[in-house]
């Protein structure tokens, strides 16, 4: 549902904040919001020190339409509207150019990749190697309710990077663990996630030595290895 005005959207956010609910500013995309809305939301997020999440460079058509309307690519438009910064997470960035990735790096923005959804929609895949070389913080999301499995997302991200670079182990286990955990918490302005409990007797961990469990989790396990809360 789209609010009738930017004032209506911000009023809804304020009502949630008054109830003690943690919020983030989340204009869906440059397709969904007029430029003046993006400018206002960028100012609000900065003034209130709130996370800002926005989809950008997800699909070629989105890029073409943004160029036709604004004369700028999506991430360039976000930069021009004051929407990039250390609390900003750009979702997808699938078709981001090198210049756009530089804007993310220089502003301290992060990228949330959604590899299984991007594959399902035929949108393409993250330029993972160029992101890695620039040191842009990465986290993962689902952007879909067809299948939600963080282990699958980070495994697919590593698979994308391997195809692009022609070698194995582009992201090491600790990096993938951070992409699937710590970096995501930071993108939501959380200090940390709740701990998870892993079923060490799960068939996918059969014969895995304790010192290799973390590597096995990101390399070959699914979400069903996590013990559900009682």
Q: Where are the beta strands (DSSP E) in 21-173?
A: 52-56, 88-92, 110-113, 138-140
Sign for the CA dihedral angle at 134, 55, 51, 223 comes to: negative
End-to-end C-alpha distance for the chain, whole angstroms? 35
**Residue 192 falls in which region: left (phi positive, over 0), alpha (psi -120 to 50) or beta:** beta
How far is 205 from 64, CA to CA, in rounded Å? 46
Helices of type H across 81-181: 98-107, 115-120, 128-134, 150-165, 173-180
Residues belonging to the active site? 92, 143
Q: Which of 53, 63, 128 is nearest to 91 (CA)?
A: 53
Assigned token pair, 136: 């842009």
Q: Which of 177, 170, 168 is nearest to 128 (CA)?
A: 170
């Amino acid at each position: 549902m789209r609010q009738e005005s930017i004032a209506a959207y911000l009023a809804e956010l304020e009502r949630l904040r008054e109830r003690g609910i943690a919020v983030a500013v989340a204009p869906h995309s440059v397709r969904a919001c007029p430029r003046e809305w993006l400018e206002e939301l960028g100012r609000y997020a900065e003034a209130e020190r709130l996370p800002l999440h926005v989809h950008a460079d997800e699909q070629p058509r989105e890029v073409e339409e943004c160029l036709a309307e604004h004369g700028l690519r999506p991430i360039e438009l976000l930069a021009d509207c004051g929407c990039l910064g250390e609390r900003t997470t750009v979702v997808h960035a699938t078709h981001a150019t090198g210049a756009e990735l530089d804007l993310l790096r220089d502003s301290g923005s992060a990228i949330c990749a959604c590899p299984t959804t991007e594959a399902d929609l035929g949108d393409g895949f993250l330029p993972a190697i160029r992101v890695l070389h620039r040191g842009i913080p990465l986290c993962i999301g689902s952007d879909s309710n067809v299948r939600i499995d963080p282990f699958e997302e980070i495994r697919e991200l590593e698979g994308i990077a391997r195809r692009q670079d022609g070698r194995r182990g582009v992201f090491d286990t600790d990096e993938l663990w951070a992409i699937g955990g710590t970096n995501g918490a930071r993108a939501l302005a959380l200090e940390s996630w709740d701990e998870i409990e892993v079923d060490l007797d799960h068939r996918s961990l059969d014969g895995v030595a304790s010192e290799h469990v973390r590597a096995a989790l990101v390399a070959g396990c699914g979400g069903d290895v996590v013990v559900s809360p009682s």
